[in-house]
Structure 1
Amino acid sequence: MCVHWLQTSVALLLVLVSSSISKAQKATEIRRFQLAQVQQGVAVDQTHFYVINNHSLTKHSKSDGKQVAAWNDTTGLLKHMNSGVVIGQKLYCTHSNYPDVPMASSIEIFDTRTLRHIGSHSFGLFPGSMTWADFHDGYWWVAFANYSNKSMAEGRDNRWTTLVKFNENWQQLEAWAFPATVLQAFAPYSTSGGTWGPDGLIYCTGHDKPEMYVLKLPERGHTLQYVKTIPTVSEGQAFAIDRSVKNKQVFYGITRNDNYVIVSVVE
């Protein structure tokens, strides 16, 4: 009887392990574009992708990577743009004064048709450096990073990194901490890119590891819940899910050491 129970238990364990392995996901590269400069991240819409650099932008055709527009800050007022998200015909780019302290952030807004700068929203001094933002379910979701290196502010390390929920008028509603396992993966840096996925989960990246971390809002408490890690070809930084593609999850990421934008599909 005991032997039969043991055999049944082992068989069940093998089935569960096999099922877990079969469900493991990874990002498979389907295309890449080498460009003149790729520093911070990439945004995407139905026909184009947008490369975000510290204080410049370029717009490229998704079909061949050809540059069709460019913008450079000539004022010296922008220091460190981090990421971007396209909503309608506007490109919203997060900006901070990294690595200066005290930390200050803003969102800079551009017309996707021309890359003309059309607006700005300042957060002023905030307890973190804004690295990514997304608009989902009628709210803004913004990540404010803290670091465990020389950019540490006021004794804080990357455990102070937070995801903040705002309404459409930028009034803060809620905020969550990041789970310890993901913060350890980020260390000594923090989250550099993130967005809501079509499955209702939060996808985010760190500074340089070829990994994407999947999180969800907790049913209770103040800390985001870790779901899984997806190995990627692109290396951290800001990325974008191509929402114009249906029935599969295509995303654009970067490798900034060699200036590539990499298109991948999560399988």
Structure 2
Amino acid sequence: MKIKTLLMTLTATAGLSVAAISAKPNTVNAATENKTVNYVPGYGIAVWTSPNADHQLTGKYLQHGTSWKVFSYTTVDNTLWANVGGDQWVQAQYLADAASNSTQPEIKYVNYKPGYGIAVLNSPYNGALTGTTLKHGTSWKVFGYVNAGGKQWANVGGNQWVQAQYLSDSAPVAQAPTLTMTATAYDPRVLGNYTFGYDTVAANLSVFPRGTKLAITFANGTTKNYVVRDTGGFAYANPNQLDIAMPNAQALQFGRQNIKVRVIH
């Protein structure tokens, strides 16, 4: 009877051991890396005894801007943890490549689409949306960078990360407004001018100086680029009209049309 009880106890213990082994997180050991804490200036990140749910605080904190060796990584409940030696673990989202991180924040501008913004996530590692967006053209402090998921992420303070591809060193140039104008057509070669190509427009030079590049959208939806090279008496009498160069047969068919005009240079 004692033997049977002992066997049952051993079997139960073995089952628990197997269960415990299967529940361990998948740890990836990599070559030792140097990482810099990228958190909030003046603060630090907590060090835990393990990445598991039953972990405890060690009482230690790694200060923002300090560098540490990382020996391995593991993911538990969709959170990536970094081992900084022995039973010491920190959340990897607060670590950045030492070479790309700076304790002095940079000023960057959001360069996305006018009227829109870029999403802010709480982590570069499969992070969730925070509900905040950074509007196109606004400027923000960037405290560091990290590469994750094939993209570079920029930290804009605490648990706030954006895709670095939408940030630039200078403010984006505002796009010129689109004007509605009237257009006619002419063939400069019929007038004896073989210097101007068919990418030429004649305009009122007080509105569009010579050399101005224009993007013109026609009634059929096509857009072509032209250069202001010519002018004439009609242009001064009709500042809201352009005369577009094209072969004579096309010019005769063109007639008079409403066009959309935007300065591109």
State TM-score, norm by structure 2: 0.23
Which one scores higher on RCO, CA 8 angstroms, separation ≥ 6?
1
Higher helix share: 2
- Asked which structure has the greater CA Rg, the reply is 2
